[in-house]
Amino acid sequence: MDAAATILQHYESIRPGQEEFYKDLHQHPELSHQEHRTAAAVARSLASDGFRVETGIGATGVAAVLGNGPGPTVLLRADMDALPMQERTGAGYASTAVAADSSGAQVPVMHACGHDVHVACLLAASQLLARHREQWSGTLVALFQPAEEAGDGAQSMVEDGLFGRIPAPDVALAQHVLPGPAGSVFTRTGPVYSGADSVRITVYGRGGHGSMPQNTVDPVVLAAMIILRLQTVISRETPPTEPAVLTVGSVQAGSKSNIISDRAVLELNLRTYTEASRDRILEAVRRIVRAECAASGSPSEPDFEIFDSYPLTVNDDAATARVAAAFRSFFGDRAGTLELQTASEDFSDIPRAGKIPYTYWAIGGTDPAAYQAAALAGRLLEDIPANHSPMFLPALQPTLRTGTEALVAAALAWLGTAS
Closer to Zn ion by CB, 284 or 338: give it.
338
Give the total of residues touching Zn ion (CB under 5 A): 1
Residues 6+ apart with CB under 8 A from 246: 230, 231, 233, 234, 268, 269, 270, 271, 281, 285
Q: Are 161 and 343 in contact (CB under 8 A)?
A: no
Helix or strand (DSSP H, E) at 185: strand 185-187
- Which range, of 32-40, 110-118, 218-226, 243-251, touches Zn ion by CB under 5 A? 110-118
Q: Does 113 participate in binding Zn ion (rule CB under 5 A)?
A: yes
Closest CA to 173 of 399, 416, 411: 411
- As beta bridge partners, residue 202 has 265, 303
Closer to Zn ion by CB, 110 or 415: give it.
110
Q: Are 293 and 301 in contact (CB under 8 A)?
A: yes
Q: Does 80 participate in binding Zn ion (rule CB under 5 A)?
A: no
Rounded Cα distance, 226 and 35, in Å: 39
**Which residue type is seen at 350?**
I
Closer to Zn ion by CB, 34 or 68: give it.
34
Rounded (5°) CA angle 4-81-360: 40
Helix (H, G, I), strand (E, B) or coil at 406: helix
Cis ω before 398 (30° cut-off from 0): yes
- Which range, of 31-39, 107-115, 255-263, 354-362, touches Zn ion by CB under 5 A? 107-115
Q: Does 119 participate in binding Zn ion (rule CB under 5 A)?
A: no
CB 292 to Zn ion: min, Å:
33
Q: Does 174 participate in binding Zn ion (rule CB under 5 A)?
A: no
Q: Are 352 and 71 in contact (CB under 8 A)?
A: no
CB 152 to Zn ion: min, Å:
14
Rounded Cα distance, 345 and 347, in Å: 6
Closer to Zn ion by CB, 58 or 205: give it.
58
CB 100 to Zn ion: min, Å:
20
Rounded Cα distance, 404 and 121, in Å: 5
Q: Does 177 participate in binding Zn ion (rule CB under 5 A)?
A: no
CB 79 to Zn ion: min, Å:
6
Closer to Zn ion by CB, 148 or 292: give it.
148
Handedness of CA 370, 345, 193, 233 (dihedral sign): positive
CB 118 to Zn ion: min, Å:
8
Q: Does 110 participate in binding Zn ion (rule CB under 5 A)?
A: no
Closer to Zn ion by CB, 49 or 149: give it.
149
Closer to Zn ion by CB, 120 or 293: give it.
120
- Which range, of 97-105, 109-117, 190-198, 243-251, touches Zn ion by CB under 5 A? 109-117
- As beta bridge partners, residue 358 has 172
**Which residue type is seen at 308?**
D
CB 88 to Zn ion: min, Å:
17
Q: Does 109 participate in binding Zn ion (rule CB under 5 A)?
A: no
Q: Which residue is nearest to Zn ion (CB)?
A: 113
Closer to Zn ion by CB, 18 or 341: give it.
341
- Which range, of 84-92, 111-119, 124-132, 407-415, touches Zn ion by CB under 5 A? 111-119
Give me the 300-329 binding string for Zn ion, x by CB under 5 A, dash otherwise.
------------------------------
Helix, strand, coil proportions of the chain in percent (round to 5)? Answer: 40, 30, 30
CB 115 to Zn ion: min, Å:
6
Rounded Cα distance, 20 and 45, in Å: 13
**Which residue type is seen at 228?**
L
- Which range, of 62-70, 113-121, 158-166, 317-325, touches Zn ion by CB under 5 A? 113-121
Contact residues toward Zn ion (CB under 5 A) are: 113
